[in-house]
Homo-oligomer: A and B are copies of this chain.
């Protein structure tokens, strides 16, 4: 069975599988969301809006041209939450899965990233792993839903309403989709630190990356120290970068806004505004205030943070934490005149440096070109366009609220960015590049002057 599976993997490349899955998920979602039962009576939407909503949902971005609560019926909301799983869990597990296979394919002999199953490179092991991943996310979502549902009884007298809100917020936060059924994101809970705290917890679990979750699980189940457990280099790098961005981002937002938006607010309000908004630039995109109330430097800082995005193999997008970390380490080492990047007592492979370079470069080009085109087609200030583009690429979904008013070109750019942000640039590069046979000819090398 493994052999025949491997054969079909060779015919369909892993990247083609991810892309195929994504397009299938978007098509099915567009259909599902267009079902008459999904929408409230009297709602008619255009194809581009239904498509946009499906793309935004499958890419768990949360940019939206409609108001979820005014558009969808209660069954529609359940369908919608189901669709979020396509993107949130689907692309994520598929990504992790394929990463392992590709790791195998390139003949990687080093310790495998995920140690959960010694037989993981066998198909049965991989399927087991995927089921485990899906289980973890669903359990997180359910626990979140119960805690939030119970707590929402403070807001809603109706148990159904309370638990619907609890479930939706939990799913929206864990999948980092960032959609809301309040009609105004998390602004109604801007003074409720408990809800904010739970939301931050859930979105971190979704955006920190699956391998980290699995390793955490193994670490905790090995508390008796049956064997020596070591976190993978990947988990260490991505976690440090991830939390570095949350904490550093919160600090910067506070410093930039303490005499602006946060002026005169008590410390706990300032603290939660900064922390919540910073955490949500990782990928979730929920907000407790209007980003337009922040000053321009903060909006640009948040754009930059959204561009970086979340961990690979997570529910997030952007160029990803590891790409950013490797590039900074590379630059640091280059300035020191050192050749090899040493971090956490390991060395980074040249292969991964090349990959990170390509991802960073492509990400920058993609966003700059998108911003450039939007300045031609859209009539919004540059800062808002930059924010919108970074938000789509990072599958974050924060916005100045300009999304519904974008031209069709603008909406197509948004959708393209959400797609690329979600499947990741490495996969995207493999789509646009024509595969060539390995070259077996060489020219003489010649040095040139750089910079």
Contact = CB atoms under 8 A, between A and B. Distances in A.
A446 B297 contact: no
Contacts of A313: 449
A383 interface: yes
Interface string A278-316: 000000000000000000110011001000000011000
Given A429-B335, A449-B312, A444 B346 contact: yes
Contacts of A362: 331
Interface stretch (A65-73, A118-126, A220-228, A368-376): A368-376
27 contacts: A103-B447, A113-B447, A233-B446, A300-B371, A300-B375, A312-B449, A319-B451, A320-B451, A322-B450, A322-B451, A326-B448, A330-B357, A331-B358, A331-B361, A334-B433, A335-B433, A338-B436, A338-B438, A346-B444, A346-B446, A347-B442, A348-B445, A352-B448, A352-B450, A356-B451, A381-B382, A424-B451
B449 A372 contact: no
B326 A444 contact: no
A354 B334 contact: yes
A229 to B, nearest CB: 15
Interface in A203-250: 209, 211, 232-234, 237-238
B442 A335 contact: no
A326 B430 CA distance: 19
B375 A297 contact: yes
Interface in A411-447: 424-426, 429-430, 432-436, 438-439, 442-447
A430 B335 contact: yes
A360 interface: yes
A338 B433 CA distance: 10
Majority-rule SS of A interface residues: helix
A37 interface: no
A340 B322 CA distance: 24
Contact of A364 (B319, B326, B364, B381): B364
A350 to B, nearest CB: 8
A79 to B, nearest CB: 31
A288 B366 CA distance: 32
Interface of A: 99, 103, 108, 110-111, 113, 209, 211, 232-234, 237-238, 256, 296-297, 300-301, 304, 312-313, 319-320, 322-323, 326-327, 330-332, 334-340, 342, 345-349, 351-352, 354-365, 368, 371-372, 375-376, 381-383, 424-426, 429-430, 432-436, 438-439, 442-451
A256 B376 contact: yes
B451 A425 contact: yes
Contacts of A448: 232-234, 237-238, 322, 326, 348, 352
Given A330-B358, A342-B443, A376-B256, A312 B450 contact: yes
Contacts of A103: 447
A47 to B, nearest CB: 29
Q: State the 10 A-B residue pairs at the shortest beta-carbon distance, nearest first.
A: A335-B433, A359-B451, A312-B449, A234-B448, A233-B446, A334-B358, A355-B450, A426-B451, A346-B446, A335-B429
Contacts of A429: 331, 334-335
A232 B382 CA distance: 42
A352 B447 contact: yes
A449 B214 CA distance: 15
Nearest to A99: B449
Interface centre among A113, A237, A429 (most CB of B within 10 A): A429
A443 B435 CA distance: 33
B376 A450 contact: no
Given A357-B357, A442-B340, A447 B335 contact: no
B108 A447 contact: yes
Given A361-B360, A383-B382, A347 B450 contact: no
Nearest to A234: B448
A184 B408 CA distance: 42
Contacts of A365: 331
Contact of A337 (B113, B364, B433): B433
